[in-house]
Chain A
Amino acid sequence: MKRFLTPFRSWLGIAPPLDLEFANRVECVIEHVEAGCGAEIVLAVEPWSGSYRDINYLVGAVCSFGVLIVILHSHIEVHPDWIPLELILVFVLGSALAHRTVLRRWLTTTSRRERQVQDAAKIAFLDGVIGTPARTGILIFWSRLEQRILAIADRGVERQMPGECWAKFLFELRQLQSVAEPQEGLLKAIQDLGTHLSRHVPIPAKHVRVLPNRPRGE
């Protein structure tokens, strides 16, 4: 059943949830990286960023309208008393379909999705990553619907790490966005980042790690 459902879900754009194995591997990689540097890395994975309720309603309305046209123009006899209920049902089903599939990506502009991902990443950063004692937190934010992976570094990392190294890391993340399953690439990018961090962000005296290594979100 799973073998049948997976390509169907992939076609609809329903991303399967990240498995436990990936979460464990991320935790190991981050632990290994943090052991050699003074930075703290957090990976946050979200199914989507921001609200797409307007798109859900739009799809529901269009489906509902389509069904109404079919009822009116086809030879199917439908009692008038049932029509409102059917329309409401189709509206709900259409909205639910939009909510779970890639329709939200198809029906929104790139700039809107970018903005929503950036806003969500900033909130996630302020929410939990900014509180490190040496301001050496790094957030890697992966929003799966929008296929965007962002990274935000705190002041301590910006101060110590050369801009070129950070830019290279951002570039690697950008390249991963066009990959359907970027998990492996993401792990490699974190390891590469660790190489630069160990060189430029040393472990300070009395270093206390406050952020968990397990991925957040899904």
Chain B
Amino acid sequence: MYRRPKLYTSYEQETQLLPTWTQKGLAGAFIAVLFLLPFDIPVITDPIPGLGWLPIFGDGIPVVRFLGDGEWIRVTSQVLVLAIAALGLNLLSGVAGQVSLGHAFFMGVGACTAAYLGGHADSQVWGHSLPIWIWLPGAGIAAALVGIIVSPVAVRVRGIYLAIVTLGLVFVGIHLGNMSFGRKIAGPPSLGREFQDLDIRLWKEETPLINMSDDGRWLFFDVTEEQKRYLFFLVLAIGFTVLAKNLVRTRTGRAWQAIRDRDIAAEVMGVPDFKSKLEAFAISSFFAGIAGALVVSLSGHLLSDEFNLFFSVEFIAILLIGGAGTTSGALIGTFFVIMIPRFVEEFTRWLADAEGGVSGAVANAILTGGEGDFGFVSSGIESQGWPLSVADWNVVLFGVLIIVFLIFEPLGLFGIWIKVRNYWKGWPFSY
């Protein structure tokens, strides 16, 4: 049995979450790295005796710093949170085959519920100042309930009609935030409301057990606000990943796959069509609701306009770029789609500061603002008009990525990985 990865002798063996030891090892190592990522790891604190003549060991390398900058930690936290939402959409669209453009709407429902339950009331908004163990599950449950409410309409239509119905939800949802009760929950239009601090406490006014809104000391380590949040989101993201991956192999998950592959055939075989789709909507919305609440808690500010069509399409893009129907695809896709714009921005910022040499020449060729240049990127980050600013180039890049992946690699990054793996599996033969 050993070293025969595709040989399964029992059903339990075949349906394991991580069938091979390589996968188990890689997953374990990956999770360990994720936990260590926010910290400065002291590797060599003193100059190493006898190696002091080597320039890099001369002063000792004080730390290995992965995400030392607070900004990068925040972006990585964002990836973790949005991964939860992407996993939810993957269950609905990738596994159950019900393509939804309304994911942002369900995230908005979750965010608003969280703000209503956990936020602090004032003259403009309602709030109950409840602790996180109420508002976070509450956000998920409220979104799931809304998912159940809309599913009778959503189940009646399929394919492109379903996409348009769910698209309608996004517009209706943004408008709900403008209505009189919506303004009480989501704050004044285009101003929004403050979101409560992230901390874990037993009841309303008690001292928090774990406070994630200031720097502190956990066990023996000094941790900053950002690091605390990162770890909290990481634990949640791992939990939801396991949940999503596990769901796919349960009876419900297999029913979803049957529905996706051919819903009439599935029904003939006794898979309940309506019930399965309803479950898919409810569970996917639950994921979305939790993620919506967390996204807002990360930014600290709730604005109903943010849960718009672009946000929804971002998740569709995540699935398509990562590889629809696969858990790892959803995770890789989230990382890719969220990080790429950040990298482009950072790169441009770095170029803008570059002077002379190769980087200076590149900066001259790409950025405008220098003398005699043919730049196509405006150095102002938010400026309007030609040449486009970095933010606008990022939107264009986002669209181009969607198109390029759909045309050339419909299975996404996961498909590329499969190709690479198969190449080495058969090496030196071509198949």
Q: Do A and B bind each other?
A: no
CB within 8 Å of A: which residues of B? Answer: none
